Structures are given as C-alpha cells and as structure tokens.
Structure 1
Amino acid sequence: MTLYEMLLYFFIYGILGWCTEVAFAAAKERRFVNRGFLNGPICPIYGVGVVTVTAFLDPLRDQWVLLYLASTILVTLIEGLTGFVLDRLFHHKWWDYTGMPFNIGGYVCLVFSLVWGVACVTIVKVVHPVVRDLCLLLPHVLGILILTGCVCAMAADLLVTVNSILKWNRQLDALDKVAADLRELSGRMGENIYENVMDGIEIHEKLDAAREERKEERKEQLTELRLQAEELRGRYRELAERSIRDGRRIVRAFPTMQSRRHKELLERIRARVHEGK
C-alpha cells in the first residue's frame, strides 16, 4: 500500500467513522452532535484503525477466524494507546469504559473490542474492496490535490483544537484556584466572626478601649474579606460561563469523558451543558 493510498483511505474511513458516530448520536439524542475530537467532519482514530487493519491483515482476508482475532487485538491496541496518550497529554479520559465488564483502565473493554472485530471483518471483506475500486477511478493528480487540501485543513483543525483544549484546561485550573481562594476566605471570615462573638459574650460591665479597638479592626477586616469574596465570586461566575461555553462541544462530543484533575468541576459543567440543550 503506497503513502498516497494510505492517506486516501485514512480520510475516507475517518469521514465515514465520523458519519457513523454522528448518526448514532442523532438516533440517541434526537439532535446533531459533532462526535469527533476535531472540529471538522473526521474521526482520525477510525482512519488510523482501518488503514492499519487493511494494510497489515489483508493476507488474512480469506481466513475468517484469524482475521477476526487479529482485527480485534489490533484495533483494541490502537484504541487503548490512543486513549492513554490523549489522557496523558490533556489530562482527560475522552471515553470511559470503567462501568463496562472486562475493561482495562477504562480505555478499552471486551464488548466494544468484539464489536470492532466484527466491523473490521466487514470492512475488509465487503466495504474496502468497493472503496478501493472507487479510488482507482479517481485521477491521480486530482487525488493529490484533494489530499493536499485535506491534510492542510486537518492540520489547521488540529492546531485550533489543541489550542482550545489547552485554553479550556487553563480555565478549569483557574476555576479550581478561585474556588480554593473562596474556601480560604470563608474560613478567615468565620474566624473573624467567631472572635467577635466570643468578645461579645465575655462577662464584663465595661469593654476596655483595647477591646473596642480590636472589634473595630475586626469589623474592617470582615468588610474587606467580604469585598474580596464578592470579587472572587464574580470572577468564578465569569470563568464558569466561559468554561461552559468553550467546553460545550467537547462535553457533548464525549459524554463519558472523565477528568483526572477536575472530576467534580467537569460533572458540574456537564450538568449545565445538558440543562442548556
């Protein structure tokens, strides 16, 4: 298989995979959802998976059992490695099979691996021969032009997508930082109020000047803390709205996505996104 053929098949099956994911999501949610990692209409993992299977397992196309077993193992490795790498790069598990039986780290599971095996056998035996014959009808020069446009478009899309995810991660980090600052302020305000209350319930006929001065200082401190807390709450609301807006497509595209650093925060964002359907 030449590089030209590999790229051609990669984009064809990546687009077909995206169409399959979108159709499945539309049937389930009754609306359009872009289920790809990228913004464009392509799921690269499908392209990589099918190209790998067709390139390496074509000699087994007449041996159904071996083809099925090899396809299942190969696609499982690709899915698991892709999920692991994306998790380590972006600190999110983009799909999670943790609730499924016989899963490995939530990246792969037996049920879906068996389904992928059936899909690969179908592609190798039925779909790919048709796709290959159709590609042979495409003039080589036109194919080169189409591939050049597709590669440039996907490279630009990848750059934008990665930048958007990194930006979203920074927003989540900032949200957690503001939430931590608010908790710290709340604790300091509680201590200030407690000290004022304890001063107030001490049994003395007359408060001395020093105690009065301390009370005034605490009042000023409490007022300042309240102002800081209000400013932080406003900052938190602003960041929350931006993170929901920027993360809406990602959350919808990967409904089982889990975050290693912001698990609870991601669940709140997911709930808000679903409320605003």
Structure 2
Amino acid sequence: MTKKERGYLTELYYFALSFFVYGFLGWCTEVAYAAAKQGKFVNRGFLNGPICPVYGIGVGVVVQFLTPVENNLVLLYISSTILVTVIEGITGFLLEKIFHNKWWDYSEQPLNIGGYVCVLFSLIWGVFCVLIVKIIHPLIYKVLTMIPLVLGIVVMACLAVGLLADLYVTASGILKMNRRLEAMEKIAAELKELSDKVGENIYENVMEGMEFREEKKARIEELKAKYEEMAENRTKVGERLVKAFPKMQVGQHKEIFEELRERIKRSK
C-alpha cells in the first residue's frame, strides 16, 4: 500500500469516527433545544438511538473539506453555510421522497427554500461550523488520535451495526405507520359511504329499509371499532417521530394523520 493510499484510509477512518461523534453531539443539541422549548425530554432524532446522522455527515463534510481554508474566516463561513444548507436540503428532500413524509418544514419562516431549508438558520449554522473547525474539532481530533487503531475500528464496527439495525427498525416503523394511515383512510371513506346510504334509505323510506339499515348499522359499528383500535394501537416508532418532529407533514392521508397527532398530544 502506498503512502498516499494509507493517507486516504486514515482520513476515511477519522471521518467515520467523527461521524459518530458529531452525530451524537448533534442529537444532544436537538434534545437540549427541545427540552428548553418544551420543558421535558424529547428524543429529537430521526432514529431511535442517540444519534442524528445529518449532523454527523454535515459537520464531517465541513471539517473534511474546509479545514484547509480555516485561516480565511470569510471563506470558511460562506463555504460552511452553503455546505450545511445543501446537505440539509438534500436530506429533507430525499427523506420526503423515500417515506412520503416531510420531517421538518420551514415554510412559515422567511427566506425558506421549499420548506427544506431556511437561510436564517443556515447563517446561524455557518457560525457554529466556524467555531467547530477553529476550536472544537482540533480538540476532538486530538482525543480521537489517542484511541488505539484496533479499538477504534472495533468500536466503529459495533456502532455501525447498531446504526444499521436502528435504521431498519425506524424505516419499518415509518412504512408501517404509512400503511396504517392508508387503512384508516379507507375505513373512514367506507364509513362515510355507509352513513350516506343509511341516510338515503331513511329519507326514501323504502319497504326493506329497516332490514337494510340494521345490516348497515352493524357494519358501521364494526368499522368504527376497527378504526378506533388502529388509532389507539399506534407504533412506538411512529408516535416517537410525531413527538420528535412537531412540524412533520405527510404527503398523503393528511386528515387522518392530524387526528392521530391530536390523539398523541392528548395522551401525554
């Protein structure tokens, strides 16, 4: 292996370690912000575990590519702001396309782009990135270099396995929540259709109306019970995500989702 190749592997190794460090610190930041705003602990991560991958990737990329320009504060700030904006925008867009849900929404904020990013917040994150590159990362990097290589690889492998497992569980929970919303919307549509038919028969007063109404009423009660059961038996992942992302928007089944959101609020 050439010296250049060893250099690339070393950079990749520390980038991976930094990903988990900054992913965890990002999660801590989100939790602290939510605690200050709501007065209680809320797991603000997309995943169940204490890590926000977007922070790990965002800060890791900033540190990796912008350290060479750290002495030029203006260039460092502008480049950091652009990078974190692009990463947040791409992440939000991809998550919405994959899961059909919008996890955060800046639409009510001025200077937002598609609701995925907000220029004002990006400017603030640019300041934090400068502080990270100039002050925080040198300290963290020094600590990381003190970890024996073999131990670092083992720890990183364990964390990677845990991250993949968490990602699988979270993705499964989201897809299950989406299927539940779809099923509940179908039940709601059938309930409306049956109610309309019962009303029409009462109005028209047809001869077989009584028998028809009793049959339909039984079906209505069955559907209501099934709807209520589905609404109350929520998945833990889905409920956590609704609490973690108060601005979360769904692409489909919006009315049903808003009803579930209100139920979750009342169940606190």
Normalised to the residue count of structure 1, the TM-score between the two structures is 0.91
Gaps of at least 5 residues in structure 1 are 197-213
Match of 1:61 in 2: 70
- Residue 110 (str. 1) matches residue 101 (str. 2): no
For 1:66 and 1:145, locate their aligned partners in 2 and report how far apart those are by CA, in whole Å.
Answer: 37
1:28 maps to 37
Q: Do residues 265 (structure 1) and 253 (structure 2) align?
A: no
Q: Which residue pairs with 2:220 in the alignment?
A: 229
Matches within 5 A, 1:105-144: 105-144=114-153
Aligned pair in 2 of structure 1 residues 246, 12: CA closer, same or farther (>3 Å)? closer
**CA displacement 1:86-117 (0-9 Å, x = unmatched):** 00111110000010001111100111111111
What's the counterpart of residue 80 of structure 2? 71
1:89 aligns to what SS in structure 2? helix
Cα distance 1:246–1:15, how it changes in 2: closer, same or farther (>3 A)?
closer
One-letter amino acid of the counterpart of residue 22, structure 2: Y
> In the TM superposition, what whole-angstrom CA distance separates every residue of 1:9-44 from its partner, at most 9, and x where no partner exists?
000000000011111111111211110010000000
Q: Which stretch has the larger CA shift, 99-108 or 256-265?
A: 256-265
- Match 2:171 to one of 148, 162, 167: 162
The number of aligned residues is 259
Q: What do the CA deviations read for 1:173-201 (whole angstroms, capped 9, x no partner)?
A: 111110011011111111111111xxxxx
3-state SS of 2:233 partner: helix
Q: Which amino acid aligns with 2:115?
A: G
SS of 1:98's equivalent?
coil
Aligned twin of 1:238: 229
Q: d(CA) in 2 for partners of 1:71 and 1:246? A: 33
- Any conservation in 1 of the 2:106–2:118 contact (CA below 8 Å)? yes
Aligned pairs (5 A) from 1:155-194: 155-194=164-203
One-letter amino acid of the counterpart of residue 82, structure 1 = T
Alignment match, 1:92 = 101
**Max Rg structure:** 1
- Could you tell me which amino acid in structure 2 is paired with residue 141 of structure 1? V
Counterpart residue type for residue 250 of structure 2? S
CA–CA distance in 1 between the matches of 2:112 and 2:158? 38
Distance 1:30 1:139, change over 3 A: same
Q: TM-score, normalised by structure 2?
A: 0.94
Q: What is the CA deviation profile of residues 37-61 of structure 1, one whole-angstrom value per residue up to 9, with x for unaligned ones?
A: 1000000000000111011111110
Q: Identify the residue that residue 54 of structure 2 maps to in structure 1.
A: 45
Change in CA separation of 1:126 and 1:168 when aligned onto 2, cut-off 3 Å: same
* Amino acid corresponding to residue 52 of structure 1 in structure 2: V
Native 8 Å contact 2:106 2:117 kept in 1: yes
> Is the CA contact (8 Å cut-off) linking 1:244 and 1:272 kept in structure 2?
no
Separation in structure 1 between the aligned mates of residue 163 and residue 251 of structure 2, nearest angstrom: 28
- Asked if the contact 2:34/2:41 (under 8 Å) is kept, the reply is yes
Paired-residue identity, %: 54
Show the counterpart of 1:205.
Answer: none
Cα distance between partner residues in 2 of 1:71 and 1:242: 44
Report deviation, 1:265: 2.1
> Conserved in 2, the CA contact under 8 Å of 1:185 and 1:225?
yes
Question: What is the deviation of 1:245?
Answer: 5.3
Amino acid at match of 1:224: E
The DSSP-based 3-state class of the residue aligned with 1:256 is coil
Quote the Cα distance in structure 2 between the aligned partners of 1:108 and 1:50.
16
- Partner amino acid for 1:63? N
Q: Which residue in the other structure is 1:201 paired with? A: none
Once residues 110 and 260 of structure 1 are traced to their aligned partners in structure 2, the CA distance between those partners, rounded to angstroms, is 24
* Structure 2 unaligned residues grouped into runs of 5+: 1-9
For residues 268 and 100 of structure 1, the distance between their equivalents in structure 2, rounded to whole angstroms, comes to 25
Partner of 1:251: 242
Tell me the equivalent position of 2:267. 276
